[in-house]
Chain A
C-alpha cells in the first residue's frame, strides 16, 4: 500500500474515488444521493438492486395503462402516487420481472462484473484476429478415376501434379485446369508427390512401397528408392540438401540420398504409421506425425529424434509448416495444434473442427486450411487460431454423399489459390472472394473469457 501524502481532505476524497473507479469500474458506488427518500443507503440499494425493475416491462405497462384508464372513470378510487415504485401495485402482477440489460453491454456491465480483486495478467488478453477474405469454389477438375490423395505445385507455379487412387499421376495446367500429362507406373494408390525446386525431378510415393523419381524432361522414371517395408504414405524434399525423406506404414521415416539412392538414415521411433512428414532447413529438419498420436522432431545429422510431442490424443494425420514463421501445425482427429519450432513449444489450439482431419495447408497470408474426411473445410487465422470460415465441400454430381471428403490440399505458390484433392475423384480449386471487404464480411470474433483447457 502506498502512502498517500497528506493533503486536503477534498483532494484525498477525489483521489480515492478515482482509484476506486479505476479498480472497480465507473459505476461502482457512484450514486447520486437523493435526499427526498430517506437515507443514502436506501437510495443506493434502490439504485443498485432495483434499477432493473424500476420501469415495468412494456407489455405490463400497457396493460396497466389500460387498467388505469378504466379505473379513472370510476371516481371512487384515486390513483396512487407513481413514485412509490411499481412493484407493489395491486392491479398489476406482483412478480418482479427483470428488465433486459442494456443492449450491447453483454455480460460485462452491472452486477455481472467479476468480483475478483486481481486482474488477469495482460498476456492473456486475446489478440483480435486479422481479417481474411472468405474462400469460394473456383473450378472443379474431374479427370481422375480414384480418390485424389496427393497434390504438389511446381515451383514456377505453372502446373501442379496430382496422384490418385487410379494409380496415375496427372499433371494439370494451374491457370486453365487442362490436363497436360498422365504418368503411369505406380501399381497402387499414389500417396505422396513433390516437385523439386532445384532439379527437374518429380518424386512420388505410393501404397505399392515404391518411391519413384521422375525426370520431367523425359517424363520417365529414372530412380527407385527401394527399402520401405510397407506402403509409403508421405514424402518431403529437403529444401537445401539433395535429400528425400519418406514415411509410411512401416512406422519409420527414411532419409534417402537423392543421387546415390542410398538409405542414409532410418528414423525409427514411431510405433505407428507415419502419416505425414515435413522437412525444413533448420533444426528440427524433419518433423513427422504418426498415427501413434505423437509428433517427433528429428535431428537429421544424427538420425535421432530430438523430441516427442505427445499432446495429441489421436493419430496425427497432417502437418503444416508456416512459410515465414518458424512454427508448424499438426492435426489429429478433432484438434489442430500449433507449435513453435526449435523446441516444439505448444503455442495454441485451433478449436472447432470436429472431424478426422486429413490435410492441413498454410499460405504466407497466415491462412491455415484444414480439410476433413467428411468433407468439412475450415479456414483459420494462423496468428490467433480464429476460424473465419467453415463449410462443407460438395461432392460432384453422380457421386455418393459419403464421397465428400478432402484427402489432400495445397496452396499454390502465390497463396491465392487453394487446390484440394477429394474423395469424389475431383480436384477443386478455391480462391478468395474478390468483392469481399471487412465491411461485407466482418470478423465475428468474441474473446473467450472462460477458463480454457489445453
Chain B
C-alpha cells in the first residue's frame, strides 16, 4: 500500500501548492457564495447557494469553508490544501477531536500522530512495528553509536537542569522563610493631600486635608481564608502505544494450577461452629492407625525379666549357702566351746557329776547357762530371787491396771494423766479442749469479707468494726455447764475425795436452805444429764399481749414507742432466758 503510494508520488510531478506556506485570505462570512449576473440568467436576483458548484463550473473555485465541502471530503482534482471539517487546519481551535491524517516526507501515514496528541514534539513515542525490532536488525540502521554523551553535552544539560531545579528549590525555600510570613511586614504609610472639589456651585474655599493611608494590620497567625478545593483531574494524556502482544489466554492447565482449595479447618465446620473435640479427634485419623509395637519389645522385656529372676535366684541360693555354712561353722565353734567348758568343769568337779554331764547338747546355751547359774546358787539366793520375781510381777500388774484404767478414762482425764506423766502441766481448760487460741480457724477470717455483696446492713458497721466481742468465748466458757464425761467410777479415791470436798465446802450457803434443797427439789427425780428446759409458753408479764396490742391496733398514739419497745423487749426476753438458764445450771 505504502509502496504503491510511494510509486504514485514519484510518478507525479511536484505539487504546486504544499498548503504549508499558503496564506488564506480572510473573508468575512463564509459559506454562501454570491453568484454574479453572468452565471445567472437575466434576473437580477442574487442567489445564495451552498455546497460545491456543479461539475464543469469549478474552474477557479477553491473550497475554503466547511460549507464548501457539503459534508463531504476534499476535492482531489482541485490542487489546493483543503480542510474539510477544519481537519488539520493550523491556528484554529476545533472542537472536534478527530485528527487529520498526517504523512511524513515519504508520504507514509504517520499513525503515531494519535499517540503524540497532547504531547510535546520531542516526546518519545514508539508506535510502529519497526520499534519492535532490535536496533541492530533494522534494515535501515547504519552504524549505531552507543557512546555516552560527551562532556560538553552533559555540562549543558546539567546547567539547564540545575537552573530549572534551583528556581524551584529557591521558591520552595523562600516560602518557608519567616520574612515572607503574611502580615509580618507592613508597607510604609502613604500620605495623600485631599482638596475637596467645588460642588453644587459651592465656591467657598475649603481646607485641604492630608490623609495618611495605612495598610490594615494583619494577624500573622490567622488561618487562611480560602478553602482548598479539589480540582478534578484534567483529561489524561493519550496512553502510550502498547508494544507487546496481548496476554496469552489462560489455558485450562494454568487455571488448574491457580485453583487453590479452600482451607478445611479441623476446629470449625463450614458453618463456623466449633467441631466437638471427640469428632475432631476421630476425624484427624489419629485413632485409625494401629499402634503396633514391635514384638521384640516383648521379647526383650521377657528376657530381662527372666535374667533378673535368674540372677535373684542365684543370689538367694548363694546367700542361703553362705548362711548355712556360717551356721555350720558357728555350731561347730559352739560345740567346740562346749566341749572345752565341759572338759574344764569335769576337771574342776572331778567327776562328781558325771551323770549330769551326759545331758543332751541340743539345749540352748542360755537355758543351760541359767540352769548352771541357778544350780550354783545357795537357798538364800533362791529366796531373794523369788521376792524379786514377785516384785516384777506386781509391777506388771499395776501397769496393766493403769493401762486399763486409762483406756476407760475420758478424754480430758487421759490427757491430764498423760501430761502429768510427761511432766507437762496443762491447764484445765486446755485439757477440756476449751482454751481457744486467739487464732482459731473461726476467727482467722473477718466475716465482713464474706457477704460484701449484701452491703453495710449485714454486719459491717463503721462505728463498730468488731463483729464479735473479744472475750465472748471466755465468758461463754466460764458460764457454760459441762457435764463431766460420765462420772469417773473407776478411780474411787478421786471421786470420794471430790465428794468430800463438795460436802465440806458450803457453796450454796449463801442461798440459805441449800442443804435442804430448793422447794420442790425433793419432788424432782434424780437427773442424769444436763438440765432440760421447756419452752415457757406462759406470758407472765403480759408482754406478748402488749405486743399484740401495739401491732394489732395499728399506728396509734404510741406506735413508734411501741415499736421501739419491741426491740428492747426482745433483748430482754433473751437476757431473761439466759438468766434462767444460768440459774438452772447452778442447780
Q: Bound state CA distance, A308 and B165, in angstroms?
A: 23
Complex contact B154–A281 (CB within 8 A): yes
Contacts A281-B158, A312-B244, A345-B135 given; indicate if A260 touches B173 (C-beta within 8 A): yes
Complex contact B154–A240 (CB within 8 A): yes
Instruction: For A343, give the chain B residue with the smallest CB separation.
Output: B124
B401 to chain A, nearest CB (A): 86
The interface-forming segment of A4-12, A61-69, A295-303, A387-395 is: A295-303
**Residues of chain B contacted by A255 (CB below 8 angstroms):** 165
Complex contact A285–B161 (CB within 8 A): yes
**Residues of chain B contacted by A300 (CB below 8 angstroms):** 161, 165
Complex contact B154–A257 (CB within 8 A): no
Q: Bound state CA distance, A297 and B165, in angstroms?
A: 18
Complex contact A282–B124 (CB within 8 A): no
The interface-forming segment of A25-33, A87-95, A321-329 is: A321-329
Within 8 Å by CB of A282, from B136, B153, B168, B241, lies: B153
**Residues of chain A contacted by B148 (CB below 8 angstroms):** 282, 324-326
The interface-forming segment of B139-147, B261-269, B300-308, B375-383 is: B139-147
Instruction: For A384, give the chain B residue with the smallest CB separation.
Output: B136
Complex contact A344–B126 (CB within 8 A): yes
Within 8 Å by CB of A340, from B122, B146, B149, B243, lies: B146
Within 8 Å by CB of B126, from A127, A282, A309, lies: A309
Cβ contacts A339-363/B at 8 Å (1 or 0 each): 0101111111100000000000000
**Residues of chain A contacted by B162 (CB below 8 angstroms):** 241
Complex contact B135–A340 (CB within 8 A): yes
Interface residue B185 (Cβ < 8 Å from any Cβ of A): no
Contacts A241-B158, A262-B169, A282-B153 given; indicate if A311 touches B124 (C-beta within 8 A): no
A405 to chain B, nearest CB (A): 20
Interface residue A307 (Cβ < 8 Å from any Cβ of B): yes
A242 to chain B, nearest CB (A): 9
Complex contact B149–A309 (CB within 8 A): no
Within 8 Å by CB of A310, from B133, B169, B242, B247, lies: B242
Contacts A243-B165, A301-B164, A343-B124 given; indicate if A309 touches B243 (C-beta within 8 A): yes
Within 8 Å by CB of B165, from A124, A301, A312, A349, lies: A301
Q: Bound state CA distance, A454 and B158, in angstroms?
A: 35
Interface residue A208 (Cβ < 8 Å from any Cβ of B): no
B324 to chain A, nearest CB (A): 68
Interface residue B73 (Cβ < 8 Å from any Cβ of A): no
Instruction: For B131, give the chain A residue with the smallest CB separation.
Output: A346
- Interface size of B by CB at 8 A reads 40
Instruction: For B124, give the chain A residue with the smallest CB separation.
Output: A307
**Residues of chain A contacted by B139 (CB below 8 angstroms):** 121, 123
Q: Bound state CA distance, A312 and B287, in angstroms?
A: 55
Interface residue A413 (Cβ < 8 Å from any Cβ of B): no
Complex contact B131–A306 (CB within 8 A): no
Q: Bound state CA distance, A283 and B158, in angstroms?
A: 9
Interface residue A137 (Cβ < 8 Å from any Cβ of B): no
Interface residue B101 (Cβ < 8 Å from any Cβ of A): no
Complex contact A301–B161 (CB within 8 A): yes
**Residues of chain A contacted by B157 (CB below 8 angstroms):** 281-283, 285
Complex contact B132–A311 (CB within 8 A): yes
**Residues of chain B contacted by A53 (CB below 8 angstroms):** none
Q: Bound state CA distance, A313 and B248, in angstroms?
A: 10
Cβ contacts B94-135/A at 8 Å (1 or 0 each): 000000000000000000000000000011111000011111
Q: Bound state CA distance, A313 and B242, in angstroms?
A: 9
Instruction: For A293, give the chain B residue with the smallest CB separation.
Output: B244
Q: Bound state CA distance, A52 and B125, in angstroms?
A: 55
A364 to chain B, nearest CB (A): 12
Instruction: For B148, give the chain A residue with the smallest CB separation.
Output: A326
Interface residue B160 (Cβ < 8 Å from any Cβ of A): yes
Complex contact A123–B164 (CB within 8 A): no
* Interface size classification for chain A: 35 or more
Complex contact B240–A454 (CB within 8 A): no
A11 to chain B, nearest CB (A): 37
Interface residues of A in 266-314 (CB under 8 A from B): 281-283, 285, 294, 297, 300-302, 306-313
Complex contact B134–A241 (CB within 8 A): no
Complex contact B169–A257 (CB within 8 A): yes
Within 8 Å by CB of B243, from A260, A262, A282, A310, lies: A310
Complex contact B135–A347 (CB within 8 A): yes
Complex contact A123–B136 (CB within 8 A): yes
Interface residues of B in 198-248 (CB under 8 A from A): 240-245, 247
Interface residue A265 (Cβ < 8 Å from any Cβ of B): yes
Complex contact B169–A308 (CB within 8 A): no
Instruction: For A300, give the chain B residue with the smallest CB separation.
Output: B161
Interface residue B397 (Cβ < 8 Å from any Cβ of A): no
Complex contact A262–B123 (CB within 8 A): no
B235 to chain A, nearest CB (A): 15
A284 to chain B, nearest CB (A): 9
A374 to chain B, nearest CB (A): 16
Q: Bound state CA distance, A311 and B243, in angstroms?
A: 5
Interface residue B172 (Cβ < 8 Å from any Cβ of A): yes
Complex contact B126–A307 (CB within 8 A): yes
Complex contact B173–A326 (CB within 8 A): no
Cβ contacts A108-143/B at 8 Å (1 or 0 each): 000000000000010110010000000000000000
Q: Bound state CA distance, A400 and B240, in angstroms?
A: 43
A298 to chain B, nearest CB (A): 11
Complex contact A264–B146 (CB within 8 A): no
Complex contact A454–B134 (CB within 8 A): yes
Interface residue B464 (Cβ < 8 Å from any Cβ of A): no
Q: Bound state CA distance, A308 and B126, in angstroms?
A: 8
Interface residue B137 (Cβ < 8 Å from any Cβ of A): yes
Q: Bound state CA distance, A255 and B124, in angstroms?
A: 22
Q: Bound state CA distance, A9 and B133, in angstroms?
A: 47
B33 to chain A, nearest CB (A): 48
Interface residue B429 (Cβ < 8 Å from any Cβ of A): no
A256 to chain B, nearest CB (A): 10
Contacts A282-B157, A311-B243, A311-B244 given; indicate if A297 touches B124 (C-beta within 8 A): yes
**Residues of chain A contacted by B137 (CB below 8 angstroms):** 123-124
A417 to chain B, nearest CB (A): 24
B105 to chain A, nearest CB (A): 19
Instruction: For A304, give the chain B residue with the smallest CB separation.
Output: B120
**Residues of chain B contacted by A346 (CB below 8 angstroms):** 126, 131-135, 243
Interface residue B389 (Cβ < 8 Å from any Cβ of A): no
Complex contact B136–A241 (CB within 8 A): no
Cβ contacts A239-258/B at 8 Å (1 or 0 each): 01101000000000001010
Interface residues of B in 311-349 (CB under 8 A from A): none
Q: Bound state CA distance, A72 and B172, in angstroms?
A: 108
Complex contact A310–B122 (CB within 8 A): no
A126 to chain B, nearest CB (A): 9
**Residues of chain A contacted by B173 (CB below 8 angstroms):** 260, 262
Instruction: For A281, give the chain B residue with the smallest CB separation.
Output: B154
Complex contact B135–A282 (CB within 8 A): no
Contacts A310-B244, A311-B244 given; indicate if A454 touches B126 (C-beta within 8 A): no
Q: Bound state CA distance, A349 and B141, in angstroms?
A: 18
**Residues of chain B contacted by A123 (CB below 8 angstroms):** 136-139, 141
Interface residues of B in 151-192 (CB under 8 A from A): 153-154, 157-158, 160-162, 164-165, 168-169, 172-173
Complex contact B165–A260 (CB within 8 A): no
Cβ contacts B25-61/A at 8 Å (1 or 0 each): 0000000000000000000000000000000000000
B386 to chain A, nearest CB (A): 97
Q: Given A257-B165, A306-B123, 4 more contacts at CB 8 Å?
A: A257-B169, A313-B244, A325-B148, A340-B135
Q: List 21 A-B contacts (CB under 8 A).
A: A240-B158, A255-B165, A260-B169, A260-B172, A262-B172, A285-B157, A297-B124, A300-B165, A307-B124, A311-B243, A312-B244, A324-B148, A325-B147, A326-B146, A340-B144, A342-B149, A344-B126, A346-B135, A347-B134, A347-B136, A349-B134
Taking Cβ atoms with an 8 Å cutoff, the residues of A that contact B are: 121, 123-124, 127, 240-241, 243, 255, 257, 260, 262-265, 281-283, 285, 294, 297, 300-302, 306-313, 324-327, 340, 342-349, 454
